Structure formats: structure tokens, C-alpha cells
Amino acid sequence: MKYEYAPKGVCSKSIELEMDGDKIKNVKFYGGCNGNLKGIASLVQGMTAQQVIDRCEGIQCGTKGTSCPDQLARALEKYLSENK
């Protein structure tokens, strides 16, 4: 199942998730720090949504109060709440 999320407070403009139940098949970030976000997407592939939430929630980028990994965690939380 594909799921799109519009992050707030970061450079990336969109996060596209491809999920198989609660497992992450693929993540694509649009905008932001290309190399870092490709790395994050590769690292989380195959993990459960909750594993990524537990590791990425609350990470900050400078003084923004959030980050692309934090926004990924929020996207996954929203996905889980909408697909119980």
C-alpha cells in the first residue's frame, strides 16, 4: 500500500511510503538532503513501522524542533493510526 505524507518544518516536501502491513517496503523523500535521505530510506527498508518510530522520533535538525527522520516517524504513526 502506498501512503503519502506532507512533512512540516523540514526541507523535504513529501514522503512516500510503500508498506506491507506494518513493514516498510520502500521510502522516498522528495526534496531535502538527497544523499542522507536515500541512506535513511535504505536503512529502514524491511523494518516495522514501530521500530523506525522508536529510533527516529524526536530527532532534531539544528533548531527546527524536528527533522526528516522525525517527520518519517510522524508519517508512520499517522499511517498506523489510519490503517489499524
pLDDT tens for 62-78 read: 999 999 999 999 999 99
Give all domains of the chain, ordered by start, each with its CATH number.
2-82 (3.30.390)
How far apart (Å, rounded) are the C-alpha atoms in residues 44 and 15? 13
pLDDT tens for 5-49 read: 999 999 999 999 999 999 999 999 999 999 999 999 999 999 999
Q: How many CA atoms lie within 13 A of 59 on its CB side?
A: 16
Residue 84 has pLDDT above 90, yes or no: no
